[in-house]
Amino acid sequence: MEIRNISKSFEGKVVFSSLNLHIHEGCTTIISGASGIGKTTLFNLILGLEEPDGGAIEGFGKVSALFQEDRLIESLSVMNNLLLVTQDKKRAENMLSSLSLFGEEKSRVFTLSGGMKRRIALIRALLTDYDTLLLDEPFTGLDDESKRASASLIKKEVASRTLIVITHEKSDADLLGAEYIISFDGVEVSEQRL
């Protein structure tokens, strides 16, 4: 899984110039760095939502994602949001139960708290068929108990697939049992094996 010689600019502002990253397949990798240095742009490039100006992104297969914004359909019920990506209602119900959302299946999303919406968005990403799972600040708005439960569900569901997590919180690496941390500022890249 390679990001080779990627360059990307927006309106003349260079975000990446000759960025190279190797992502270890089947492992959990944390990508960290200061705000505004291009982490979300990298996320969008891997997803194919943005095109690089140059370079290549290869080997990620089918990708599922949790964005910084929850991107749920607010007028639909919780279950109907989840059934957009899966036919397996029982699995969806089990995930809801594991994140203390049992009984909310019929609730309209707009009636829920921010933390509840975040957990539902995470479940939807996990229910999607994927080879690589991308999570952008997955624990935003969650209390410590919800964070731990969410991390436990992620580890169980991802199993031996590739997980890439963009986060400001180094403690997320411990929660998720990450094997690698990649720190970068858009130009300099350093990788640490944990």
Residues with Cβ < 8 Å from 33, sequence gap 6 or more? 39, 183, 184, 185, 186
The helix, strand and coil proportions of the chain, stated in percent and rounded to the nearest 5, come to 30, 30, 40
Q: What is the pLDDT of residues 98-134, one digit of tens each?
A: 999 999 999 999 999 999 999 999 999 999 999 999 9
Task: Output the pTM of the full model.
Answer: 0.92
Distance of CA 140 to the CA centre of its chain: 12
Token pair, residue 164, equals: 């890439």
For residue 187, name the pLDDT band (cuts at 50, 70, 90): low
Q: Return d(Cα 98, Cα 177) in angstroms, integer.
A: 19
Q: In the chain, what is the greatest distance between 2 CA atoms, to the nearest angstrom?
A: 50
177: helix, strand or coil: coil
* Structure-block tokens of residue 53: 């100006």
Q: What is the pLDDT of residue 81?
A: 98
What's the DSSP call for residue 53? S
Looking at this protein, which amino acid is placed at residue 162?
Answer: T
Confidence (pLDDT) at 109 = 97
Q: Is 2-193 a domain of CATH 3.40.190.10?
A: no
- pLDDT of 186 above 60: no
Q: Which two tokens stand for residue 127?
A: 């229910």
Supply the pLDDT for residue 39: 86
pLDDT (0 to 100) of residue 185 = 65
Domain map (residue ranges) of the chain: 2-193
- Highest mean pLDDT (candidates 42-51, 75-84, 181-190): 75-84
